[in-house]
Amino acid sequence: MGGNAPAPPALEWVKRTVNGSLRGYAWAALAALAFSFEGLFARDAFAAGATPLLTLLGRFALAAALLRAGTLAAAAWSRGEAQAGPAGRVRPAPVVRPADRRALLLAGLGYAATAGLLFVAFERIATSLAILILYTYPALVALGAHLLGRERLTRFHAGALVLTFAGVALVGGAGGALELGGVLAAVAAALTNAATLLFQQPYLARVPASRAAEYTFVSAAAATLLVTAATGQLRLPPLESWPALLALAAGPSVVAVLAINRGVQLIGAARTAIVATLEPLFAAVWGAVWLGESFGPWQALGGFAILTGVTLLQAAPAAPAPGRPWRG
């Protein structure tokens, strides 16, 4: 008899599941790695003479251009494949409802505010600490979802939230007045990021990830352009800052956003968020290697509490749906 016997259905299911999970974890890790370079590239742009506003404007505009170019290239490739195939049909582009488009454009304003506040924090505290504090946003999203009636918090969730916010208190209480300003900016970035995610969550379920990201970056670029012009800073960034701006647009923007969305598709939001705890750890490594940053003992303890609390929050069993008794 020639050929190989087909694998049992159960084995095929295991292979598909394992392969999908491994790819999902790989995409989530790639997103964490890409996001972790944000502070490093931003500081490079600042050092090359770009102001924070010009850095934000260049990042968002270049990210939107990269996404648009990718969309056009994919559409051209699809047309070429369709013309070469027997059917000759081109798959129509997904239709985005006007209400979804307006909502995602509005969400871009929140994304711009988050990045702006994070850049303020980068100027005042270590980049690794700023990203660590930003990473409290999953806890804030969980708290916001509870307050909005979308989800209920169990006692387990509540304990994880307390641990996370205690970690922020330890990190913020370890420094002086200037450092406290940076901590507050990072906390504000986490708040705006959580609010943006809660707002856009219903719309992301209906819009392809690349289109949603494109709307977000276009809106963020437009808002930053207006603020930059109003403050009299509108000009081309220094030539020396362009490599850092391109790196910001390609890595922590386009690659990170697309990778994290792919991770969510393959392994779900909770497991993707757990893998994303690698982001502040990566950022701490880059800060130590390239910027000479280090944590004090209380900051290290606070960082450990934040990462533990966020991980426990994402790994916790599903909370009871609204309307059911609240039990720990």
Residue 226 falls inside a structural domain: yes
Per the structure, the count of domains in the chain is: 1
Higher pLDDT, 58 or 14: 58
Q: Which pLDDT band holds residue 216 (cuts at 50, 70, 90)? A: confident
Amino acid 6: pLDDT: 53
Best CA proximity match to 137, nearest among 327, 288, 263, 269:
269
Amino acid 321: pLDDT: 46
Q: Minimum mean pLDDT among 196-205, 216-225, 246-255, 316-325: which range?
A: 316-325
Residue 56 falls inside a structural domain: yes
Higher pLDDT, 261 or 58: 58
Amino acid 300: pLDDT: 79
Residue 175 falls inside a structural domain: yes
Residue 155, C-beta contacts closer than 8 angstroms, at least 6 positions apart:
327, 328
Contact present, 187 and 312 (Cβ < 8 Å):
no
Q: Which pLDDT band holds residue 238 (cuts at 50, 70, 90)? A: very high
Q: Given a cut of 60, is residue 106 above it in pLDDT?
A: yes
Residue 308 falls inside a structural domain: yes
Q: Given a cut of 60, is residue 176 above it in pLDDT?
A: no
Q: What is the mean pLDDT of the chain?
A: 79
Q: Which pLDDT band holds residue 228 (cuts at 50, 70, 90)? A: very high
Tell me the residue type at 188.
A
Quote the domain boundaries for residue 136: 44-73+97-315
In whole angstroms, give the CA distance from residue 177 to residue 167.
18
pTM: 0.74
Higher pLDDT, 269 or 88: 269
Residue 223 falls inside a structural domain: yes
Amino acid 82: pLDDT: 55
In whole angstroms, give the CA distance from residue 123 to residue 43.
8
Mean pLDDT of the 172-182 span:
63
| Highest mean predicted confidence (pLDDT) among 4-13, 149-158, 221-230, 272-281 | 221-230
From the number of C-beta atoms within 10 Å of its C-beta (0-12, 13-18, 19+), residue 90 rates as middle
| Highest mean predicted confidence (pLDDT) among 31-45, 126-140, 276-290 | 31-45
Amino acid 327: pLDDT: 30
| Strands annotated E in 224-292 | none
Best CA proximity match to 43, nearest among 121, 133, 114, 123:
123
Q: Given a cut of 90, is residue 144 above it in pLDDT?
A: no
Residue 60 falls inside a structural domain: yes
In whole angstroms, give the CA distance from residue 167 to residue 170.
5
Higher pLDDT, 261 or 9: 261
Amino acid 45: pLDDT: 94
Residue 139 falls inside a structural domain: yes
Residue 20 falls inside a structural domain: no
